[in-house]
Chains A and B, each alone.
Chain A
C-alpha cells in the first residue's frame, strides 16, 4: 500500500462531507473532457464488425460447436487441457496464474478473451491476425494442448455429436491422410471457436453507469455514486500531463490494440522477449493468416496485415496493451504475469525502469503518490459483467 494512503483517506473523508452539499464538484467536467469520457464509455463500442476472414464468425451453429470445443479436454495430448483450462469464465476468461499451465508450463500470462474479437491482433506479440487463427495455436503448442491437427480432426470423426455438427456447418470431414483437407478442417474448427469467442463481450461497469449519467445530465444524482477518489483517478487517467494512460488504453475497451514497450521484461531469453518485432514476422509467414488459403477474406480486407509495420526499433520488446476492463478478476498482470497486484503495476509506471529489450516508452510522471492511489481506485470501477448468453459462460450441457 502507498504511504500516502492514510493521510489521503482523512483528506478525502473531509471532502466527501463537502461533496454532499456541493455535488457539482465531482460532476464538473468540461465539454472536451466529456467527449473523452464518451469515447471510453461502453455505449461508444460499435457493434462487433464481421471478420471477413471467417465466414462462419457469426453463424450460431458454429458458435455452439466452438463452445463445445472450448471446454473439451479431449482436445489435448493428456486429456486434461481445454481452452477453458487457461480461460476460466469466472476470471473473465483468464486463469489467475502468472503464466499459464497446459500440458507443461507456458511462458505467457493468459489474456482475457472478453471483447478480444475487436482486436486486429492476437497473442501478446501480435503473431496472429485473427481470432480463429489464434485459436489454432495452442492446440499444436507442446506446452499447451500438445496435439497435432490430424489428432484434433480425428476426434471430430470419432465423436458422433462433433461429426454431425461439423458436417452440418462445413460439409464432409476430410479422409485420413488428406493433409490439405485436415488443415482446412483444423482451420474450420478455429473458426468455430472464434464464433463462440465473438459472443463474449464486456458489459457495463460502474464507470459506464457514471458516464451514462453524466451524458444524460451534467449533474445527475447517481453520478455522485462515483467516489471522489474514483473521479480524481479518472481525471489522472485521461490527463496527458498526468497519467498519460490514454496513449495506449483508449476507446471503450481501454486498449488501442497496438504494441508498446513499457519496460516489463519477462524472465525468458532475450530472443523470446522481442515482442512485436518477431510477432509480426510470424504473422506474415503464418499459413493461417488473412492472406492465406484458409482465410475467407479477399486481400483487400487484409489491410492490417498488408500495411503492418514490419521493422523498426519501436517494435522491439513491444507487447499489446490489454483491455483495462475487469482488472479485479484478471491478475496477475503483464505478458508474463510480472505483477501480482494493480499497486505493483502502478509502481512500475512511477519507477519507470529501463527496458532490457528495446527502449521503454514510459515517461516520468509528475504525479503524487496519492494520485496513483486514486488511479487504482478508478481502474477498479471498470469491473463489469460479461455480456454473453448465460449458456456460454459455463461448460456445455448435455443437450
Chain B
C-alpha cells in the first residue's frame, strides 16, 4: 500500500521537463518554492507540503491566498485528494495538508496565488518513480 518515491527525472522527460521546485510565477509577480514535509515523497500516504511565497524583490509575502491543485497531465486525471492551506507559517510560508499521490509518474502541482489585488499562477512538475 505504502511506498516511497524519490523525485527523479526520467531520462525520457529530462530533456524538456522543468522539475525545479522554485519558480517565478507566470506573470512574474511572485517567487514560489515548494517542498514536501515527507522525504522521500510517499505514494498512497497523506502528507504535507510547505509553500514559500516571496515578492519579486525577495520579500516574504504574508496573508496571501494560495489555491492548490494539479494532477497527471499524461493520464488526464487530477489529484486524488483536495489539499489546501491549513496554516500560515509566517515569513511567507504556508502549510498545505492533504497531499497524496496514488501512483508513480509525472505529476503537476498548480498554485494560484493572490495577494492584495495581484493574482498569479505557477505550475511545478514532479516525477515520482
Q: Number of contacting residues on B, CB 8 A? A: 25
A-B pair number, CB within 8 angstroms: 72
B105 CB–A CB distance under 8 Å: yes
A243 CB–B CB distance under 8 Å: no
User: In the bound complex, do residue A247 and residue B103 qualify as a contact, i.e. CB atoms below 8 Å apart?
Assistant: yes
Q: A256-B103, A257-B44, A309-B82 are in contact. Are A251 and B129 (CB under 8 A)?
A: no
Main secondary structure of the interface of B (DSSP, over half): loop
A45 CB–B CB distance under 8 Å: yes
| Cβ-closest chain B residue relative to A32 | B129
Q: How large is the interface on A (under 10, 10 to 19, 20 to 34, 35 or more residues)?
A: 20 to 34
User: In the bound complex, do residue B83 and residue A251 qualify as a contact, i.e. CB atoms below 8 Å apart?
Assistant: no
A388 CB–B CB distance under 8 Å: no
| Cβ-closest chain B residue relative to A306 | B98
User: In the bound complex, do residue B104 and residue A314 qualify as a contact, i.e. CB atoms below 8 Å apart?
Assistant: no
Instruction: Report which of B81, B97, B102, B105 forms a contact with A308, defined as CB distance below 8 A.
Output: B81
Instruction: Report which of B44, B75, B100 forms a contact with A247, defined as CB distance below 8 A.
Output: B75
Main secondary structure of the interface of A (DSSP, over half): loop
Q: A307-B81, A314-B78 are in contact. Are A251 and B2 (CB under 8 A)?
A: yes
> A250 to B80, alpha carbons, bound, how many Å?
15
User: In the bound complex, do residue A246 and residue B103 qualify as a contact, i.e. CB atoms below 8 Å apart?
Assistant: yes
User: In the bound complex, do residue B83 and residue A246 qualify as a contact, i.e. CB atoms below 8 Å apart?
Assistant: no
Instruction: Report which of A304, A307, A361 forms a contact with B84, defined as CB distance below 8 A.
Output: A307
| Most chain A beta-carbon contacts within 10 A, residue among B43, B44, B76, B97 | B44
| Cβ-closest chain A residue relative to B3 | A39
B117 CB–A CB distance under 8 Å: no
What would 26 A/B residue contacts be, using CB atoms closer than 8 Å? A39-B3, A39-B4, A118-B1, A247-B75, A247-B103, A248-B103, A250-B3, A250-B104, A251-B1, A251-B2, A256-B1, A256-B43, A257-B1, A257-B44, A303-B46, A304-B46, A306-B97, A307-B46, A307-B81, A307-B97, A308-B81, A309-B78, A309-B81, A310-B82, A314-B77, A361-B77
